[in-house]
Chains A and B, each alone.
Chain A
Protein backbone atom coordinates (compact mmCIF):
# COMPACT_ATOMS: atom_id res chain seq x y z
CA UNK A 1 0.00 0.00 0.00
CA UNK A 2 1.16 3.50 -0.74
CA UNK A 3 2.27 5.33 2.38
CA UNK A 4 1.76 8.76 0.83
CA UNK A 5 -0.92 9.39 -1.79
CA UNK A 6 -1.29 12.55 -3.81
CA UNK A 7 -4.33 12.07 -6.01
CA UNK A 8 -4.02 15.25 -8.07
CA UNK A 9 -1.44 14.88 -10.85
CA UNK A 10 -2.02 18.50 -11.85
CA UNK A 11 -3.83 21.55 -10.50
CA UNK A 12 -4.58 24.94 -11.99
CA UNK A 13 -5.29 28.13 -10.05
CA UNK A 14 -5.79 31.77 -10.91
CA UNK A 15 -3.25 34.22 -9.57
CA UNK A 16 -4.24 35.64 -6.15
CA UNK A 17 -6.64 32.79 -5.43
CA UNK A 18 -6.15 30.05 -2.85
CA UNK A 19 -5.48 26.43 -3.77
CA UNK A 20 -5.50 23.18 -1.82
CA UNK A 21 -3.18 20.30 -2.67
CA UNK A 22 -4.31 16.96 -1.29
CA UNK A 23 -2.22 14.43 0.61
CA UNK A 24 -3.29 11.32 2.48
CA UNK A 25 -0.97 9.06 4.39
CA UNK A 26 -0.90 5.60 5.87
CA UNK A 27 0.97 4.65 9.00
CA UNK A 28 0.37 2.70 12.19
CA UNK A 29 3.15 4.57 14.00
CA UNK A 30 1.73 7.06 16.56
CA UNK A 31 4.76 9.32 16.11
CA UNK A 32 5.29 10.75 12.64
CA UNK A 33 5.90 13.96 10.80
CA UNK A 34 4.45 15.32 7.60
CA UNK A 35 6.30 17.60 5.21
CA UNK A 36 5.59 19.56 2.08
CA UNK A 37 8.26 20.43 -0.43
CA UNK A 38 8.21 22.57 -3.55
CA UNK A 39 10.27 21.57 -6.57
CA UNK A 40 10.56 24.21 -9.30
CA UNK A 41 11.82 23.34 -12.76
CA UNK A 42 15.39 23.88 -11.58
CA UNK A 43 15.05 20.68 -9.57
CA UNK A 44 15.94 21.84 -6.08
CA UNK A 45 13.66 20.69 -3.28
CA UNK A 46 12.48 23.59 -1.15
CA UNK A 47 11.15 22.84 2.33
CA UNK A 48 7.79 24.56 2.91
CA UNK A 49 6.11 23.33 6.06
CA UNK A 50 6.15 20.62 8.73
CA UNK A 51 3.44 19.10 10.93
CA UNK A 52 4.16 16.71 13.76
CA UNK A 53 1.63 14.05 14.66
CA UNK A 54 1.33 15.36 18.21
CA UNK A 55 1.04 19.00 17.24
CA UNK A 56 -2.26 20.40 18.46
CA UNK A 57 -2.50 23.20 15.94
CA UNK A 58 -2.23 23.22 12.17
CA UNK A 59 1.16 24.43 10.95
CA UNK A 60 1.41 27.73 9.12
CA UNK A 61 4.33 29.40 7.35
CA UNK A 62 3.49 32.66 5.63
CA UNK A 63 1.12 31.88 2.74
CA UNK A 64 1.36 28.15 3.40
CA UNK A 65 -0.80 26.28 5.86
CA UNK A 66 -1.26 22.61 6.48
CA UNK A 67 -4.80 21.33 7.02
CA UNK A 68 -4.05 18.37 9.30
CA UNK A 69 -6.95 15.97 9.85
CA UNK A 70 -5.50 13.15 11.91
CA UNK A 71 -8.56 10.92 11.97
CA UNK A 72 -8.81 11.08 8.19
CA UNK A 73 -5.03 10.75 7.81
CA UNK A 74 -4.87 13.74 5.57
CA UNK A 75 -2.38 16.59 5.45
CA UNK A 76 -3.47 18.98 2.71
CA UNK A 77 -1.38 22.00 1.80
CA UNK A 78 -3.21 25.28 1.38
CA UNK A 79 -1.51 28.08 -0.53
CA UNK A 80 -3.22 31.42 -0.14
CA UNK A 81 -3.00 34.32 -2.59
CA UNK A 82 -1.25 32.27 -5.30
CA UNK A 83 1.61 33.88 -7.17
CA UNK A 84 3.06 33.05 -10.58
CA UNK A 85 6.21 31.88 -8.84
CA UNK A 86 4.23 29.20 -7.05
CA UNK A 87 4.06 27.20 -10.30
CA UNK A 88 6.04 24.05 -9.52
CA UNK A 89 5.79 20.42 -8.49
CA UNK A 90 4.71 19.91 -4.88
CA UNK A 91 5.54 16.82 -2.86
CA UNK A 92 4.04 15.56 0.36
CA UNK A 93 6.35 13.40 2.50
CA UNK A 94 6.18 11.51 5.77
CA UNK A 95 8.73 10.61 8.39
CA UNK A 96 7.73 7.76 10.66
CA UNK A 97 9.05 7.47 14.20
CA UNK A 98 10.72 4.46 15.70
CA UNK A 99 13.86 3.36 13.87
CA UNK A 100 13.22 5.10 10.57
CA UNK A 101 16.17 7.43 11.23
CA UNK A 102 14.45 10.38 9.69
CA UNK A 103 13.84 8.69 6.34
CA UNK A 104 11.25 10.49 4.26
CA UNK A 105 8.71 8.67 2.11
CA UNK A 106 7.44 10.83 -0.74
CA UNK A 107 4.23 10.93 -2.70
CA UNK A 108 4.14 11.14 -6.50
CA UNK A 109 3.72 14.88 -6.51
CA UNK A 110 1.23 17.44 -7.85
CA UNK A 111 2.11 19.91 -10.60
CA UNK A 112 0.64 23.31 -9.78
CA UNK A 113 0.18 25.87 -12.54
CA UNK A 114 -0.73 29.43 -11.61
CA UNK A 115 -2.43 31.41 -14.37
CA UNK A 116 -2.20 35.23 -14.57
Chain B
Protein backbone atom coordinates (compact mmCIF):
# COMPACT_ATOMS: atom_id res chain seq x y z
CA UNK B 1 0.00 0.00 0.00
CA UNK B 2 1.25 3.52 -0.81
CA UNK B 3 1.48 6.00 2.00
CA UNK B 4 3.49 7.91 4.55
CA UNK B 5 4.81 6.24 7.67
CA UNK B 6 6.10 7.91 10.79
CA UNK B 7 7.72 6.13 13.64
CA UNK B 8 7.42 5.80 16.49
CA UNK B 9 3.88 6.91 17.33
CA UNK B 10 4.90 7.99 20.83
CA UNK B 11 8.38 9.11 21.86
CA UNK B 12 9.68 10.11 25.26
CA UNK B 13 13.00 11.85 25.88
CA UNK B 14 14.85 13.57 28.63
CA UNK B 15 15.56 17.27 28.33
CA UNK B 16 18.93 17.95 26.71
CA UNK B 17 18.86 14.94 24.40
CA UNK B 18 18.57 15.13 20.64
CA UNK B 19 15.90 12.92 19.09
CA UNK B 20 15.23 11.96 15.48
CA UNK B 21 11.74 11.40 14.10
CA UNK B 22 11.35 9.18 11.07
CA UNK B 23 9.26 9.92 7.98
CA UNK B 24 9.13 7.59 4.97
CA UNK B 25 6.92 7.74 1.88
CA UNK B 26 6.51 5.36 -1.04
CA UNK B 27 4.32 7.68 -3.09
CA UNK B 28 7.18 8.88 -5.28
CA UNK B 29 6.49 12.46 -4.22
CA UNK B 30 9.28 14.99 -4.62
CA UNK B 31 8.19 17.46 -1.95
CA UNK B 32 8.05 16.63 1.74
CA UNK B 33 7.21 18.71 4.81
CA UNK B 34 7.45 18.69 8.59
CA UNK B 35 4.80 20.41 10.69
CA UNK B 36 4.40 20.88 14.40
CA UNK B 37 1.04 20.95 16.18
CA UNK B 38 0.51 22.17 19.74
CA UNK B 39 -2.68 21.32 21.68
CA UNK B 40 -5.76 23.06 20.28
CA UNK B 41 -3.74 24.71 17.53
CA UNK B 42 -3.27 24.48 13.82
CA UNK B 43 -0.12 23.17 12.17
CA UNK B 44 3.04 25.23 11.72
CA UNK B 45 5.72 24.49 9.15
CA UNK B 46 9.17 23.52 10.45
CA UNK B 47 11.10 22.48 7.32
CA UNK B 48 10.34 21.46 3.77
CA UNK B 49 12.18 19.81 0.93
CA UNK B 50 11.39 20.08 -2.77
CA UNK B 51 13.95 17.56 -4.00
CA UNK B 52 16.66 15.24 -2.74
CA UNK B 53 19.60 16.98 -1.11
CA UNK B 54 17.72 20.25 -0.80
CA UNK B 55 15.65 21.61 2.07
CA UNK B 56 14.48 24.98 3.34
CA UNK B 57 13.50 26.43 6.70
CA UNK B 58 9.85 26.97 7.43
CA UNK B 59 8.29 29.32 9.94
CA UNK B 60 9.62 27.70 13.13
CA UNK B 61 12.91 26.01 12.18
CA UNK B 62 14.94 27.05 15.24
CA UNK B 63 16.07 24.05 17.25
CA UNK B 64 15.35 21.56 14.45
CA UNK B 65 17.40 20.01 11.66
CA UNK B 66 16.57 17.77 8.70
CA UNK B 67 18.23 15.80 5.93
CA UNK B 68 17.01 14.55 2.56
CA UNK B 69 19.47 11.98 1.28
CA UNK B 70 16.79 9.82 -0.35
CA UNK B 71 13.55 10.72 -2.06
CA UNK B 72 11.61 8.43 0.25
CA UNK B 73 12.99 9.69 3.55
CA UNK B 74 12.89 13.03 5.37
CA UNK B 75 13.96 12.60 9.02
CA UNK B 76 13.58 15.43 11.53
CA UNK B 77 15.97 15.91 14.44
CA UNK B 78 14.72 17.81 17.44
CA UNK B 79 17.82 19.21 19.09
CA UNK B 80 18.41 20.26 22.67
CA UNK B 81 18.25 23.87 21.43
CA UNK B 82 14.51 23.59 20.84
CA UNK B 83 13.01 25.29 23.89
CA UNK B 84 9.57 23.64 23.85
CA UNK B 85 9.95 20.35 22.00
CA UNK B 86 6.90 18.58 23.44
CA UNK B 87 4.36 18.54 20.60
CA UNK B 88 2.71 16.45 17.91
CA UNK B 89 4.85 16.22 14.76
CA UNK B 90 3.35 15.55 11.35
CA UNK B 91 5.16 14.74 8.15
CA UNK B 92 3.54 15.32 4.75
CA UNK B 93 4.30 14.88 1.08
CA UNK B 94 2.82 16.67 -1.89
CA UNK B 95 1.30 15.40 -5.10
CA UNK B 96 1.66 17.05 -8.49
CA UNK B 97 -1.80 18.52 -7.91
CA UNK B 98 -0.52 20.33 -4.80
CA UNK B 99 -2.50 18.15 -2.43
CA UNK B 100 -0.59 17.35 0.74
CA UNK B 101 -1.03 13.98 2.38
CA UNK B 102 0.02 13.43 5.97
CA UNK B 103 1.52 10.62 7.95
CA UNK B 104 -0.03 9.43 11.24
CA UNK B 105 2.21 11.68 13.34
CA UNK B 106 4.59 11.26 16.27
CA UNK B 107 3.78 12.55 19.74
CA UNK B 108 7.00 13.68 21.38
CA UNK B 109 7.17 14.27 25.11
CA UNK B 110 10.30 15.76 26.63
CA UNK B 111 10.64 15.84 30.41
Contacts and interface: CB of A to CB of B under 8 A. Distances in A.
Interface in A83-114: 91, 93, 95, 101-104, 106-109
B64 interface: no
B56 to A, nearest CB: 7
Interface string A28-53: 00000101010000111111001000
Contact of B101 (A42, A47, A101): A47
Given A45-B90, A91-B42, A102 B100 contact: yes
Interface stretch (B16-24, B43-51, B76-84): B43-51
A43 B90 CA distance: 9
Given A43-B104, A44-B104, A103 B98 contact: no
B102 interface: yes
Contacts of B41: 108-109
A109 B41 CA distance: 7
Contacts of B105: 43-45
B31 interface: yes
Contacts of B100: 35, 47, 102, 104
**B interface residue count range (under 10 / 10 to 19 / 20 to 34 / 35 or more):** 20 to 34
A102 B31 contact: yes
Interface residues of A, number: 22
Contacts of A107: 42
Nearest to A9: B40
B97 interface: yes
A95 B40 CA distance: 21
B66 to A, nearest CB: 14
B52 to A, nearest CB: 15
Given A44-B105, A107-B42, A102 B88 contact: no
Contacts of B48: 101-103
B68 interface: no
A96 B42 CA distance: 17
Given A91-B42, A91-B43, A102 B94 contact: yes
A29 to B, nearest CB: 14
Given A91-B43, A101-B31, A108-B41, A43 B88 contact: yes
Interface string B87-100: 01010101001111
